Amino acid sequence: MSDSVLGVHHVTAIAGDPQRNLQFYTQLLGLRLVKRTVNFDDPTTYHLYYGDEAGHPGTLLTFFPWPNAPRGQSGSGQASATSFAIPRDSINFWLNRLREAKVELSGPSKRFDETVLSFSDPDGLKLELIGVDNPDPDRTWSGGPIPEPHGIRGLFGVTLIEESISNTHDLLTKMGFHETTHDGSRYRYTLGSMEPGKVIDILHAPHLPRGHIAAGSVHHVAWRTSTDEEQNHWRSKLVDSGIQVTPVIDRIYFHSIYFREPGGVLFEIATDPPGFSVDESPSQLGTDLMLPPWLEPMRPDIQRTLAPIHLAYS
């Protein structure tokens, strides 16, 4: 069995208006809507998945949009920023694109060996574009509005805000991460390399109040594992460490277990298979509302509840 998780699988956040969310991530950032479904635990709201052409694990930012949801409050015990990888020489392309769209941003700035553009989505979710050398060329979307050489190449990593580091450090070490460097209050952990998707930063903020999760906040961070057997191995390992872990939950496109890391951030370990083509062909991903079998009898009521959204790439 593996001694480490494989990297980030997806990040799930909370949004407000679903159409505004859809337009920002597909039309401005050029991600593909790879699945439109509902929150399986609360089917009165969508669950929208954005990623690369095939929705590979490690490229996915997903949302539960609740229209008129209040804004969250940033603080400790939260994932404070979600970072995407882009080619290093695409920084100016994105700087100009975001400025033309009147997105307020900061940077480019330097962080460790990276060039960083920082900005927020319409709900206030903090995002970063990280310029890296040799990003994966197969993690783009050829049918999107961004020229392929400049396209987003999956998730680079996440940043957590923690009141205390030591217990979170111990958990990350159990998951295969290694502390590689730090700069002031920022501590960098990696899974053996600086490859996109294998990075997590911790901001040590002992005097910051606890955050409040609502619109513009990360709900949870999911880590990858390759098979159901590997996931069961991780569940047993976590339980043996005294961590409360959910049973395995079928999310149709992957299987999930959930637990809170010591600082309070909700973590998930999700399997890579079976993927998003189990109920839609690769060419049709994201075009229809897909429901799990146990919710299919409720489709008429669910569709009446959900606000209509319209997909248009430009």
- Closest residue by Cα to residue 270 from 231, 213, 314: 231
Rounded Cα distance, 219 and 226, in Å: 23
**Tally of CA atoms within 13 A in the half-sphere of 269 that contains its CB:** 27
In this predicted structure, the answer to whether residue 314 has a pLDDT above a threshold of 50 is no
- Closest residue by Cα to residue 313 from 131, 128, 105, 146: 146
**What local confidence, expressed as pLDDT, does residue 195 receive?**
84
Rounded Cα distance, 53 and 205, in Å: 37
Other beta carbons within 10 Å of 178: 13
Instruction: Please write the tens of the pLDDT for every residue from 249-299.
Output: 999 999 999 999 999 999 999 999 999 999 999 999 999 999 999 999 999
Q: For domain 8-305, which CATH number applies: 2.40.50.140, 3.30.465.10, 3.90.1640.10, 3.10.180.10? A: 3.10.180.10
Instruction: Please write the tens of the pLDDT for every residue from 183-230.
Output: 999 999 999 877 889 999 999 999 999 989 889 999 999 999 999 999
With a pLDDT cut of 70, the percent of the chain lying above it is 99
Instruction: Please write the tens of the pLDDT for every residue from 149-192.
Output: 999 999 999 999 999 999 999 999 999 999 999 999 999 999 98
**What local confidence, expressed as pLDDT, does residue 268 receive?**
98
Other beta carbons within 10 Å of 261: 19
Q: Domain extents for the chain? A: 8-305
**What local confidence, expressed as pLDDT, does residue 136 receive?**
84
Instruction: Please write the tens of the pLDDT for every residue from 103-147.
Output: 999 989 999 989 999 999 999 999 999 999 988 888 999 889 999
In this predicted structure, the answer to whether residue 64 has a pLDDT above a threshold of 70 is yes
**What local confidence, expressed as pLDDT, does residue 98 receive?**
97
**What local confidence, expressed as pLDDT, does residue 137 receive?**
82
β 105-111/249-250 pair status: unpaired
Rounded Cα distance, 82 and 129, in Å: 9
**What local confidence, expressed as pLDDT, does residue 313 receive?**
58
